[in-house]
């Protein structure tokens, strides 16, 4: 004999229409609030992801999702939390212009290849393997490391490939080398930095 109570529907699958309407309304309101808040924020929130951008995106997603489906959370609470995250993200973005705080918020440039030689310790620090690096170089049409002067792993995760050319290091590359971490700054005969 089955002692389980008979039910006409599965409560874990269905909910009353009124409850579903509230969930839909809160989801739409939170989506609209997020759109307005992000539109008033910086364009870089969506275009150029850094650590602070990723943290803000995860928090915003969690707030929108929880507010939409949690019956104990009002729209006002969710909207307040959402707008607070957007304001804090904006402040954190402004603090990136301070040299010390910028180093805390952003990854530093790393030199993965110097004068055609792979710097494997730097690869490991970035969580990359030789195969990861070589695949990216092949995708950029680089088929031989001997033609590479530098490969810079930029703050937002992109690679800059600098071909081997005679003459001084180009100014923008010299700036990247100057702010890099884990790379000894080369000196010219005059004792100045690269490209100086």
Beta-carbon contacts of 159 under 8 Å, excluding residues fewer than 6 positions away, are 112, 136, 137, 140, 151, 152, 153
Q: Tell me the three state secondary structure of residue 110.
A: strand
Place of tokens 């969580």: 127
Quote the pTM value: 0.61
Classify residue 193 as left (phi > 0), alpha (psi -120 to 50) or beta.
beta
Residue 9: predicted pLDDT: 54
Place of tokens 């039910």: 7
Phi, psi for 183 (deg, rounded to 5): -130, 120
**pLDDT digit string, tens, across residues 31-82:** 888 888 777 765 544 445 677 788 888 888 899 888 888 888 888 988 999 8
Could you tell me the strand order of the sheet in which 159-163 lies?
117-118, 110-114, 148-153, 159-163
Domain ranges, ordered by start, for the chain: 17-102, 107-179
Residue 129 pLDDT more than 50?
Answer: yes
Residue 194 pLDDT more than 50?
Answer: no
Fold for domain 107-179? CRO Repressor (3.30.240)
- Beta-strand (E) ranges in the chain? 110-114, 117-118, 148-153, 159-163
Q: Per-residue confidence at 122, pLDDT binned at 50, 70, 90?
A: very high
Quick one: average pLDDT of 9-35? 79
Q: Which of 130, 111, 99 is nearest to 181 (CA)?
A: 111
CA–CA gap between residue 53 and residue 30 (Å, rounded): 19
Number of other CB atoms surrounding residue 123 within 10 Å? 19
């Amino acid at each position: 004999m089955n002692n389980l109570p008979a039910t006409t529907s599965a409560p874990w699958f269905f909910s009353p229409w009124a409850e579903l309407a509230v969930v839909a309304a809160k989801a739409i309101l939170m989506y609209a609030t997020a759109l307005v808040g992000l539109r008033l924020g910086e364009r870089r929130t969506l275009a150029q992801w850094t650590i602070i951008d990723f943290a803000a995106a995860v928090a915003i997603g969690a707030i929108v999702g929880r507010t939409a489906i949690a019956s104990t959370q009002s729209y006002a609470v969710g909207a307040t939390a959402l707008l607070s995250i957007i304001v804090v993200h904006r402040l954190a973005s402004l603090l990136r212009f301070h040299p010390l705080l910028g180093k805390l918020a952003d990854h530093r440039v790393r030199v993965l290849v110097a004068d055609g030689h792979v710097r494997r310790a730097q690869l490991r620090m970035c969580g990359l393997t030789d195969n990861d690096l070589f695949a990216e170089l092949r995708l950029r049409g680089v088929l031989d490391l001997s033609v590479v002067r530098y490969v810079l792993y930029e703050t937002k995760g992109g690679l800059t490939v600098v071909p081997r050319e005679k003459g001084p290091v180009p100014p923008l590359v010299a700036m990247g080398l100057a702010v890099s971490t884990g790379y000894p700054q080369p000196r010219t005969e005059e004792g100045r930095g690269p490209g100086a």
